[in-house]
Amino acid sequence: MTTHVKRAYRYRFCPTDAQAAELSRRFGCVRKVYNMALAARTEASSVPLQQALRHLQTAFTHFFGKRAKYPRFKSRKKSRKSAEYTASAFCFRDGVLALAKMAEPLAVVWSRPLPEGTSPSTVTVSQDAAGRWFVSLLCDDPGIKPLSARGNAVGIDAGLEHLLTLSTGEKIANPRHERRDRAALAREQRRLAKKEKGSANRARARLKVAKVHARIADLRRDTLHKLTTRLVRESQTIVIEDLTVRNMVKNRKLARAISDAAWSEFRSMLEYKAQWYGREVIAVDRWFPSSKLCSACGTLQDRMPLNVRTWTCDCGMTHDRDVNAAHNLLAAGLAVTVCGADVRPQRSTPDRQSATKQKPSRREP
């Protein structure tokens, strides 16, 4: 029996005023239930969580697994506005989607077709900070199947000057999406700062700032999707470094550039696509000295300042810092498939939104 991959298809839609009001009320109800459940769980840990509270249960699972902080109450202004509908609360037929207790169907912009012959199992409606409405339909995708096996592997070193450096010697430029819109973002943020708090003008100014952020995020996500899809299609095994991004962004000088590079999002996409298509992702321990180790003779250098981009080993081999690191990551990653080594395997359950709290990184990017 063939098991199909569950895949979410996301679309924009334009609600009527009545639909927008009703959905906003439901977002508030979802937030209220979550907060009440969190309060009950905090006061009495034995209180069972029902199916409707599975997201809170997931948050606690990540917390106890030391992958996230203790769950926090959701803010009306800052939390993600979303509501999830199961099969009994929506109707999808012939490209028309209607939600329970709504007189009219949603005006969805069907930018791509759903897999033929499949029906969504859940529907999630959301609104982002820029005021855009989205509907995500989760359904089986029979088109996602393991790709033909390949015998190659690639090591990847992440950086800022170049987003990625491959062990093949290829360097992928960092598009720096945030830098392109930095002037526009700064202009809108200055205008926002001048508006009176609580005023309608401030709300409109905040929306303009959010739209700039949304444009940057959309461009970044598009780049990462194209890049990760290409890597998964071309390589059977992909070796990366287990970077501690959460701690690295505490460096004020590099925080903006690190956030714009979106290494965590890159890894998340890479891992779930590898799982889809039968590939393997191996994460090498962050303390592995990939930059200071000669990939030719194995000699370990005492130190390797960040400003050193090319260096020559005592054996006579001259290295490009990033390419050498990618070679060493690849070798360390492949070692685990033979006898085990100081590396960490692919996460057992790839999550597009997960983040890991770890010790400070051994080096700057």
* Gyration radius from the chain CA atoms: 23
Token pair belonging to 233: 């299609």
Pick the catalytic residue: 140, 157, 178, 271? Answer: 157
Question: Would residue 241 show up in a list of annotated catalytic residues for this protein?
Answer: yes
**Residue appearing with tokens 């321990």:** 285
Of 231, 192, 230, nearest to 211 by C-alpha is 192
Distance between terminal CA atoms of the chain? 45
What residues contact 65, with CB distance under 8 A and at least 6 apart? none
C-beta separation of 232 from 277 below 8 A: yes
What residues contact 178, with CB distance under 8 A and at least 6 apart? 185, 216, 220, 256, 259, 260
Taking the C-alpha atoms of residue 50 and residue 246, their distance in angstroms, rounded to an integer, is 32
Taking the C-alpha atoms of residue 153 and residue 146, their distance in angstroms, rounded to an integer, is 17
Cα dihedral 103, 104, 106, 112 in deg (nearest 10): 130
Taking the C-alpha atoms of residue 345 and residue 239, their distance in angstroms, rounded to an integer, is 9
Of 334, 154, 336, 345, nearest to 234 by C-alpha is 154
Q: How many CA atoms lie within 13 A of 177 on its CB side?
A: 18
Pick the catalytic residue: 178, 188, 241, 271? Answer: 241
Q: How many CA atoms lie within 13 A of 232 on its CB side?
A: 26
What is the bridge-based pairing of β-strands 108-109 and 5-13? antiparallel
3-state SS, residue 126: strand
Question: Would residue 242 show up in a list of annotated catalytic residues for this protein?
Answer: no
C-beta separation of 106 from 22 below 8 A: no
Token pair belonging to 180: 């392109």
Pick the catalytic residue: 178, 188, 260, 322? Answer: 322
Question: Would residue 157 show up in a list of annotated catalytic residues for this protein?
Answer: yes
Token pair belonging to 161: 């000057």
Which residues are catalytically annotated?
157, 241, 322
